[in-house]
Amino acid sequence: MKTIFCDIDGTLFKFREDFGSMMNYAEPLKGVVQTTMEWHKKGYKVILVTGRPEPFRKITEDQLRESGIIYDQLVMGAGSGPRYLINDKTPQGEQTAFSISIDRNEGLNTEILEEKKGE
């Protein structure tokens, strides 16, 4: 089973420079709802990570639910700087941690994991 750690603003929702407008309206990006639904159907665990502060949890959960974005956990207050995923290799030496960086507001598609993993 795959675990996906995914950012919210600029990755799932359109990033807006004005934080207030981002809290009032969240616009799902192209392919996001379909992709997260596909991940759910495949049994992936989806953990959303955001720099949004903890006091905005309810607003964020409401936006995600209203948009139809399926996830398992929500980590708030992660900051806006670089994020690192650290994981061990299998005993056979297979890599178990991958990083995918997409252009801001590009959206997602169901093939993004396989396309970007080989880069």
Structure confidence by residue, pLDDT tens digits, 93-106:
999 888 888 889 99
Domain count, the chain: 1
pLDDT score recorded for residue 115: 60
Q: Tokens in use for 97?
A: 């941690």
Give the containing element (helix H, strand E) for 49: strand 45-49
- The residue segments making up the domain with residue 52 are 3-117
Indicate the pTM of the whole model. 0.87
Buried/exposed 32-64: b ≥16 CB within 10 Å, e otherwise? bbebbebbeeeebebebbbebeeebeeebeebb
Whether the pLDDT of residue 25 is over 50: the answer is yes
CATH number at residue 16: 3.40.50.1000
Whether the pLDDT of residue 119 is over 50: the answer is no
